[in-house]
Amino acid sequence: MTFDDVPFIAAAAEPAASGFGSLGEFLATGGYVMLFIVLCSFLAVTVMISAWLRLRDHLVLPEGVMSQLRSLPSYAAKGDIKPLQEFLAKDDSLLAKLGALAISGTFSSRQECVDTLTARAKEELHHLERGIPMLEVMVTVAPLLGLLGTTAGLVGMFSAFGSEAGPDTTEVAKEIGVALRCTIAGLFVAVPSVVAHTYFVRRLDAIGVRLESIMHETIQTFFAHFEVQRHGGSPTERR
């Protein structure tokens, strides 16, 4: 007995015959529904790449900005906060924008500063979230499209069984391929989408928590060490 005499080993030795074959063949066999699934996959990948690029640390919470904000007491000891304000103005990260607003000295009270920073942080986080809800849509839509392709394939299969000349086995096999491959493709899009959606939502939650902590510390330190001038100008050190 040779390995070719064992059915499952022989099948494994001929992946082109037993597997999906080429990608083009796999997609073509899926029928017209496969086109929509492919479009969903491109959209999901685009959203994932875009979200990953937006949520990188150096664009959201760079370590350099955090260390500068935490060294606010040293600027207070020198009695000059302008170097820190200039540093934050040159940085385009989310933390730098919020930090610059927190130490701008434009708020007459600590509570006013907290309320404004909270509203601005929510707005910025909403901006960072753009596109991510689309992944949740893909989690629902992609399997439904796969189910639609499966249903279409089953309809074609039963039609082939009901022909006057008898069952057309070639057509039946083709329609079964449409049904199964659409289901597989739909799940192939949905599974990475749900993983990516969960990751990015958790990432946004973590960013929100860290922003709240850093901004609270910054505001507390700023108002503890500096006196806000009510008629314009830079904040001055408390005496």
Per-residue pLDDT tens over the stretch 188-208: 999 999 999 999 999 999 999
Under the banding of pLDDT at 50, 70 and 90, the label for residue 124 is very high
| Confidence (pLDDT) at 223 | 86
| Confidence (pLDDT) at 73 | 87
**Four-residue CA torsion sign, 9, 10, 16, 18:** negative
Per-residue pLDDT tens over the stretch 128-140: 999 999 999 999 9
pLDDT score of 16 more than 50: no
Per-residue pLDDT tens over the stretch 50-99: 999 999 988 999 999 999 999 888 888 887 888 998 999 999 999 999 99
Work out the number of other CB atoms within 10 angstroms of the CB of residue 139: 20
DSSP string, 13-42: T-HHHHS--SHHHHHHHT-HHHHHHHHHHH
> 134 CB contacts (<8 Å, ≥6 apart)?
43, 44, 47
* CB 136, CB 197: distance < 8 Å: yes
For 11-20, 156-165, 170-179, 183-192, which range has the lowest pLDDT when averaged over its residues?
A: 11-20
Give the Cα separation of 170 and 187 in Å (integer).
26
Cα Rg for the chain, rounded, in angstroms? 29
Give the Cα separation of 63 and 60 in Å (integer).
10
Q: What is the mean pLDDT of residues 7-35?
A: 55
**With 0-12 CB in 10 A as exposed, 13-18 as middle and 19+ as buried, what is 181?**
buried
* CB 191, CB 142: distance < 8 Å: no
Query: Which H, E and C letters describe 189-217, residue by residue?
Result: HHHHHHHHHHHHHHHHHHHHHHHHHHHHH
% the chain with pLDDT above 70: 73
Q: What is the mean pLDDT of residues 153-180?
A: 67
Under the banding of pLDDT at 50, 70 and 90, the label for residue 49 is very high
Under the banding of pLDDT at 50, 70 and 90, the label for residue 1 is very low
> Quick check: helix, strand or coil at residue 218?
helix
